[in-house]
Structures are given as C-alpha cells and as structure tokens.
A and B are shown apart, each in its own frame.
Chain A
Amino acid sequence: DGGITQSPKYLFRKEGQNVTLSCEQNLNHDAMYWYRQDPGQGLRLIYYSQIVNDFQKGDIAEGYSVSREKKESFPLTVTSAQKNPTAFYLCASSMYSRGWPQHFGDGTRLSIL
C-alpha cells in the first residue's frame, strides 16, 4: 500500500547534537512538507518542497535544514541551533506541487536528554 513512512517513531537527542528525521513516500507525490506540533498549538510548517532539488522555508525554519535529492525522500535535520527541539514532527505529501497535504506520516517524537 502507498503511504508515508517516518522513522524513527521516538528519537532522543543530547544537547548540541544534530539529528535527522527520515520521511519516505511511495505515492509518487511531487510535494512534501515538514510540520512541527506542540501542545496547545496548531501544526506549523517548517519546510516544504514542491519538486526534487528545490525546497522553501516555512514559518519556523530556523534551526532546521532539509534536502530533496530524490522524489520519494525528504529528510529533516534538527540542528543544535534549534533551541527548543522537543516536539512531535509530522511529514506530509501532496500529489501536485501546488496541492496541499493529502497524506501524513505517523510522526516522530523528538525529546532532548
């Protein structure tokens, strides 16, 4: 079945470390998105990519980086510059580059040790 796979489900990071969250889709979707979810807040867009080898900053990109070398993969790196990285991270995709998220992954919960 087609879908989005996020791994790992739970991730722990020490202070000062970078960590990369994986997102893979086999839906042949053009666009992919990364969102952050915090308690009491709506999802906020970190980065999105409408096409391979291109990506744009969302509303809260500081302290994060992404790459889109393959259509099916959109990894998110949480760098040490992100001062409050503890959150739930969701990856999503849409069929068209100007669509909106149609499929979501199951998320990765990142915690700081």
Chain B
Amino acid sequence: KNEVEQSPQNLTAQEGEFITINCSYSVGISALHWLQQHPGGGIVSLFMLSSGKKKHGRLIATINIQEKHSSLHITASHPRDSAVYICAVRWGSKETSGSRLTFGEGTQLTVNP
C-alpha cells in the first residue's frame, strides 16, 4: 500500500516569507493532489499534478516522479494562508476509481502578521 509522508507537520512563518511544504510517497502514482483545509474544516482543491509544475497566484506546486516527491510553495505568505495543507496521491492507472487515494496527515501552517 502506498504511504504518504508530509513535512513539516507544523510550520509557523512571518508574513511575507516563502513557504515550502513537502510530500513524499512510496510507490508509483498516476497523480498527486494538493488540498487546503480551512480552520472550519472545509477542504478546497488547490492543484492536481501528474508531472512538472503548476502555478496559481502565489501558489506553486511541483512534482518529481523519479524522486517520488512533490512540493507546495507559497510566495509572499499572508495570514489568510493559515490552514492545513494536505497532499493526496492517486495510485494505480488513470482509469482507477477515486477510491484509490491515500492522504497525508497534513501540514498545519500558521502565518503571523
């Protein structure tokens, strides 16, 4: 079974700092997903990656398939970025159902003003 490890578990930053959250997995995957969980509990999808890099606003996600590693970067961090960031990997073929997902434990990010 695929294992997903996120680091760090907790991260505190000052406003404006560059943030990096890491995700490593143990077996080949078809795609990787970054999610953001707000303090109230709701989850929002940020990115889905199968290779390379994606950017949306101040958020950048990269994946290295050979290294089995992905990073989520936040540039010019802001207190409103404070949330739990969750990595999820989809293993098996692209035709596999959404049941084949393994989630990381999440990284709690706190950005102080």
Contacts and interface: CB of A to CB of B under 8 A. Distances in A.
Contacts of B88: 42-43
B12 interface: no
B64 interface: no
Contacts of B102: 42
B99 A109 contact: no
B interface secondary structure, majority: strand
Given A100-B90, A107-B41, A107-B42, A33 B98 contact: yes
B98 A100 contact: yes
Interface stretch (B51-59, B71-79, B103-111): B103-111
Interface of B: 4, 31, 33, 35, 40-45, 86, 88, 90, 95-99, 101-106
Given A56-B99, A97-B97, A88 B105 contact: no
A17 interface: no
B42 A100 contact: no
Nearest to A44: B103
Given A48-B99, A98-B95, A100-B101, A42 B86 contact: yes
**Which one of B35, B43, B102, B103 has the greatest number of beta carbons of chain A within 10 Å?**
B43
B96 A98 contact: yes
A88 B41 contact: yes
A43 B87 CA distance: 10
A13 interface: no
